[in-house]
């Protein structure tokens, strides 16, 4: 008996599910122990909570796609409707994992200070505050190993390390030094209010001698992509 060939919609969903499984495995495996072991326990707890939240969202997307695929198999959804739904979820997943450029309203936070005045914990605090305020896409721009600016896309597995010899910051393994620019897509006024709260991250920067400038943007484009690394141990199931 001949096997029924899968429809183009099912093939698209299958590819999305495969990519989603890889994204889940990568987010778990790409946390560098060399980067995390220098962070205080409070920051590690916050990073773990955020990673758990992001992985839960990815798992929810995966479950939704599996359900959609089952509906198509039973003939319960039109091919065009299912394909549109699958494409929308694929787009959201690519943004979440930093694999495509994105644009939208948001904020730009510039921090001017000598690197000696900025502990790694302050950079981690900004990342966490942006996430807590609902930022959907985040990029950190700084000075690379030369004199040119370079950006790093922040994802669930992002880590920050301040090395002593030589005295540099590494964000996801990339050398970045101040001045730093945080670019975040989300509800600009909400994010701005969260960053400017009394005793919050901007206050902490100013107390350490840094100059801070924050602007709300109507349309911000972030084109830096996250680097995907192959998991060493984790496999999809």
Q: pLDDT per residue over 26-75, tens digit each?
A: 444 444 444 555 556 665 666 666 666 666 666 776 677 677 666 666 66
d(C-alpha 202, C-alpha 211), whole Å: 9
Q: pLDDT per residue over 124-135, tens digit each?
A: 999 999 999 999
pTM, whole model, 2 decimals? 0.68
Would you mind telling me the total number of residues written for the chain in this entry?
237
Range in 71-75, 89-93, 195-199, 212-216 the model is least confident about: 71-75
Looking at residue 26, what is its pLDDT? 44
Q: Tokens in use for 16? A: 């999305």
Indicate the SS3 state at residue 206. helix
Which CATH number is associated with domain 102-222? Answer: 3.30.70.1880
Report DSSP letters for 9-55, one per residue.
HHHHHHHHHHHHHHHHHHHHHT--HHHHTTS-HHHHHHHHHHHHHHH
Phi/psi of residue 208, each to 5°? -90, 5
Domain ranges for the chain: 8-96, 102-222
């Amino acid at each position: 008996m001949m096997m029924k060939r899968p429809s183009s919609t099912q093939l698209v969903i299958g590819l999305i599910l495969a990519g989603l499984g890889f994204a889940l495995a990568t987010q778990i495996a790409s946390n560098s122990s060399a980067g995390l072991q220098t962070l205080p326990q409070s920051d590690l707890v916050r990073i773990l909570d955020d990673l758990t939240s992001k992985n839960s969202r990815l798992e929810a997307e995966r479950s939704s796609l599996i359900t959609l695929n089952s509906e198509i198999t039973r003939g319960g959804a039109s091919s065009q409707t299912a394909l549109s739904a699958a494409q929308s979820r694929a787009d959201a997943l690519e943004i979440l994992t930093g694999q495509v450029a994105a644009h939208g309203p948001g904020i730009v936070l510039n921090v001017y200070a000598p690197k000696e005045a900025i502990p790694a914990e302050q950079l981690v605090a900004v990342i966490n505050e942006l996430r807590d305020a609902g930022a959907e896409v985040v990029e950190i721009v700084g000075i690379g190993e030369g004199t040119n600016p370079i950006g790093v896309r922040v994802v669930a597995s992002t880590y920050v390390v301040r090395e002593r010899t030589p005295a540099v910051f590494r964000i996801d393994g990339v050398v970045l030094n101040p001045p730093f620019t945080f670019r975040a897509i989300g509800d600009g006024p909400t994010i701005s209010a969260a960053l400017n709260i009394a005793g919050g991250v901007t206050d902490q920067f100013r107390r350490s001698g840094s100059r801070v400038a924050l602007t709300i943007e109507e349309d911000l484009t972030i084109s830096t992509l996250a680097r995907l690394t192959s998991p060493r141990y984790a496999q999809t199931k």
